[in-house]
């Protein structure tokens, strides 16, 4: 049976013209090199090297053998090195930045795919800076950045909607929405208990801007809960409403733990991107992250 290590050793001795140099290159002992060459000579039936005062000299048979195997051996080693690199990339620790409000719906989708992930929570601009400065491998962002040193790929769209507890009587709201009575809609919404993940109510303000064409909603949030996922869980067990990303509400809506109150056509969608620095060693992981996130949408 052919032993590929014999041919690796032969290649190194042929290239270096010296058993000691070959042993150093292959990280094995000189006697091991000598033994493997002797076994290869016995296998092919010809002497391959003649000893000289300094090193060895290939015989004509060695030159012929080198011509026959060198291309195939190089290809095999390239395949092996590529496989090792992919295996390393698949199991290495990767760092991913993401908004804490998207961690449960998007970040958790990556946990089952990769063995080691170091997650960080930041806003879009901070995430971009960290990736651009190569302090993070990847980031999930909702804003597009165009620079020479980064790569950005869209994985889906999310949208802000109003959801509420299942026991809320939403019939008056639904009727007002049907007749496009925005004054009545706003009046009903203002009378509810509101949840927000931030005291400055950025999601609510954005919804009001697009849907009611108003910069400042008149309501004051009853409860400030800094994680949108936790906020949704609490809404499902209590009474109240909130503006949330539809992707975060999807599971609880399917389980009837919360209800969709208003998915307004006036509210635009927001694109979600995966951001990475330009690094060939991370390209396979970058592609895998895109595939896994696209499954969520």
pLDDT at 178: 96
Q: How do the domains of the chain map onto residue ranges? A: 4-91, 93-157+270-296, 160-262
State pTM to two decimals.
Answer: 0.69
Q: Do domains 4-91 and 93-157+270-296 have the same CATH topology?
A: no
Contacts of 276 (CB under 8 A, 6+ apart): 131, 137, 138, 139, 150, 151, 152, 282, 286
Structure-token pair, residue 210: 């697009």
Residue in 44, 45, 47, 60 with CA at minimum distance from that of residue 7: 44
- What CATH class does 93-157+270-296 carry? alpha beta
**Closest to 272 (Cα-Cα) out of 160, 172, 154, 159:** 154
Class of domain 4-91: mainly alpha
Query: Residue 68: its pLDDT value, please?
Result: 83
Q: Please name the CATH architecture into which domain 160-262 falls.
A: 3-Layer(aba) Sandwich (3.40)
Say what the pLDDT of residue 73 is.
Answer: 79
Q: Is 80 exceeded by the pLDDT of residue 272? A: yes
- Per residue in 106-137, pLDDT (tens digit) is 999 999 888 889 999 999 999 999 999 999 99
């Amino acid at each position: 049976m052919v032993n590929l290590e014999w041919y690796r050793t032969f290649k190194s001795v042929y290239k270096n013209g010296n058993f000691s140099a070959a042993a150093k290159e292959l990280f094995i002992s000189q006697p091991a090199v000598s033994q493997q060459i002797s076994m290869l000579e016995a296998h092919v039936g010809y002497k391959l090297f003649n000893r000289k005062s300094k090193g060895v000299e290939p015989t004509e048979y060695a030159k012929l053998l080198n011509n026959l195997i060198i291309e195939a051996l190089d290809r095999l080693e390239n395949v092996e090195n590529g496989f090792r690199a992919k295996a390393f990339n698949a199991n290495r620790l990767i760092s991913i930045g993401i908004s804490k409000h998207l961690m449960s719906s998007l970040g958790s989708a990556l946990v089952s795919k990769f063995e080691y992930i170091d997650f960080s929570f930041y806003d879009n601009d901070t995430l971009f800076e960290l990736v651009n400065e190569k302090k993070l491998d990847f980031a999930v962002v909702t804003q597009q950045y165009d620079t020479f040193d980064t790569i950005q790929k869209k994985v889906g769209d999310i949208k802000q909607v109003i959801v509420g507890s299942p026991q809320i009587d939403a019939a008056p709201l639904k009727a007002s929405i049907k007749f496009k009575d925005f004054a009545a809609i706003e009046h009903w919404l203002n009378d509810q208990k509101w949840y927000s993940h931030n005291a400055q109510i950025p999601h609510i303000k954005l919804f009001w801007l697009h849907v009611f064409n108003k910069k400042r909603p008149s309501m004051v949030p009853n409860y400030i809960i800094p994680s949108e996922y936790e906020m949704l869980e609490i809404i499902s067990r209590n009474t109240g409403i909130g503006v949330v990303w539809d992707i975060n509400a999807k599971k609880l809506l399917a389980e009837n733990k919360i209800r969709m109150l208003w998915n307004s056509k006036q509210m635009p969608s927001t694109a979600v991107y995966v951001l990475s620095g330009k690094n060939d060693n991370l390209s396979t992981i970058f592609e895998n992250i895109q595939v896994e996130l696209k499954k969520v949408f």
